[in-house]
């Protein structure tokens, strides 16, 4: 072609690199928040979008591509065909259906589990070495379902879990203390949702445990009512959904930080959903969140927090509830 040929004498073709290829399945509010945050932070320069709706896919892809000047000239592709996802290092699953009128949580769970049956085998076929990050809700049960369907080692199926709950928790504590969230060390473990466990015993700033200052912290007898913060964390999603219809920005950022740790093999610790049987006295084969180190091979290790008996029991109770839910799902 004339102008192109005259402008540049081409010596060789650039190589196509797959080192940081990330696929996002489901381009709703959550999927697009993940995509935007991954691109704008330069975490991946090779992003794939997958959904069922061709037009919307193309629209979202074009809209992002038009911002290339302000990014790092990423390669952005989109298709209903999973072949485009081939060779991904991380696949983020955000596809989901919402509750219908009069639909029970269990029915919703089965519908989303059926969705996993549809999605996961394609991802496994085209990216057999990828780490799969499950964001769709109920995230802990669906991570378990995805693990069963995929045939992957448990280390490569990760639920976004309480990474988001933990960030909400740290933000709220940070506000109360007027110290940045990054300097407030606090963890929410267990279920992403109603039965999550706040690890009050470990909450510290610069190694100073708040429980040493206020022995009642996180309990009902605490005159300062720190426990209200955990309640607010649990209600966060409901409160945001009531006001704007869905949550997306914080989960997008939280997923991005996990993808970053995986792609860059960082060994940084995130509260993510993993198979926790045998830890903290949990007997059931369930996925729940604990602080895990993340790297290119997925979950590398689980930090064994020194939990109080109350915290341990709360986690074990969560595990029993999860096991019951799992029993009801047809995989
Ligand atoms: P949304 O905006 O309705 O988007 C869902 C998308 O999934 C739509 O674009 C659908 O077309 C697509 N989809 C549905 N079925 C398929 C399929 N078989 N294959 C491909 N794509 C499909 O929902 P939203 O983005 O708001 O939420 C997505 C999921 O994330 C829901 O299950 C939420 O509950 C869950 N969240 C999880 C969070 C977490 O912390 N783990 C946080 C927020 C939301």
pLDDT tens profile 146-168: 999 999 999 999 999 999 999 99
pLDDT digits (tens, 9 = 90+) for 207-243: 999 999 999 999 999 999 999 999 999 999 989 999 9
How far is the C-alpha of 261 from the C-alpha of 257, rounded, in Å? 6
The whole-chain average pLDDT of the chain stands at 96
The percent of residues in the chain predicted with pLDDT above 90, rounded, is: 91
Is the model's pLDDT at 18 over the cut of 80?
no
Residues 6+ apart with CB under 8 A from 228: none
With cut-offs at 50, 70 and 90, classify the pLDDT of residue 108. Answer: confident
Centre of ligand 1 to C-alpha 32, Å, is 10
Centre of ligand 1 to C-alpha 237, Å, is 14
Tally of CB atoms within 10 A around 138: 23
This prediction has a pTM of: 0.97
Is the model's pLDDT at 117 over the cut of 90?
yes
Burial 73-98 (b: 16+ CB within 10 A, else e): ebebbbbeebeebebbbbbbbbbbee
Which segments within 124-218 are labelled E, that is strand?
Answer: 131-134, 157-159, 188-189, 197-198, 204-205, 208-209
Give the residue whose CA is nearest to atom 4 of ligand 1.
28
Residue of 23, 25, 27, 28 to mutate, ligand 1, most atoms within 8 A of C-beta: 28
How far is the C-alpha of 143 from the C-alpha of 159, rounded, in Å? 5
Ligand 1 cavity residues, CB under 6 Å: 25-31, 51-53, 94-96, 98, 115, 118-119, 135-137, 139, 160, 164, 192, 246-247, 251
Active-site position among 185, 192, 260, 330: 192
Please provide the DSSP assignment of 118-143 as one string. HHHHHHHHH-TTPEEEE-SSSHHHHH
With cut-offs at 50, 70 and 90, classify the pLDDT of residue 96. Answer: very high
Residue of 24, 25, 26, 34 to mutate, ligand 1, most atoms within 8 A of C-beta: 26
Q: Annotated catalytic, 192?
A: yes
């Amino acid at each position: 072609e004339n102008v192109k040929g005259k402008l540049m004498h081409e010596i060789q073709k650039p190589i196509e690199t797959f080192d940081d290829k990330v696929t996002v399945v489901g381009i709703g509010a959550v999927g697009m928040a993940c995509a935007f945050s991954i691109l704008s932070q330069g975490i991946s320069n090779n992003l794939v979008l997958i959904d069922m709706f061709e037009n919307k896919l193309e629209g979202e892809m074009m809209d992002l591509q038009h911002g290339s000047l302000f990014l790092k000239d990423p390669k952005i592709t989109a298709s209903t065909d999973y072949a485009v996802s081939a060779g991904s290092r991380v696949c983020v699953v955000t596809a989901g259906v919402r509750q219908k009128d009069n639909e029970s949580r269990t029915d919703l769970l089965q519908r989303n589990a059926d969705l996993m049956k549809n999605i996961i085998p394609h991802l496994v076929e085209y990216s057999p070495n990828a780490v799969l990050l499950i964001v769709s809700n109920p995230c802990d049960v669906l991570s378990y379902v995805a693990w069963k369907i995929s045939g992957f080692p448990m280390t490569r199926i990760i639920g976004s879990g309480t990474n988001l709950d933990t960030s909400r928790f740290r933000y709220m504590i940070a506000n109360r203390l007027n110290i940045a969230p990054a300097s407030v060390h606090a963890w929410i473990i267990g279920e992403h949702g109603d039965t999550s466990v706040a690890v009050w015993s470990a909450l510290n700033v610069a190694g100073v445990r708040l429980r040493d200052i206020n022995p009642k912290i996180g309990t009902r007898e605490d005159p300062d009512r720190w426990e209200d913060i955990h309640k607010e964390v649990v209600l966060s999603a409901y409160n945001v959904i009531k006001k704007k219809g869905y949550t997306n920005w914080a989960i997008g950022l939280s997923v991005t930080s996990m993808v970053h740790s995986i792609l860059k093999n960082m060994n940084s610790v995130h509260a993510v959903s993993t198979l926790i049987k045998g830890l903290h006295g949990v007997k059931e084969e369930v996925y729940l969140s604990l602080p895990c180190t993340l790297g290119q091979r997925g979950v590398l290790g689980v930090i064994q927090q020194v939990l109080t008996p109350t915290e341990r029991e709360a986690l074990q109770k969560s595990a029993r509830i999860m096991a019951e839910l799992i029993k009801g799902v047809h995989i």
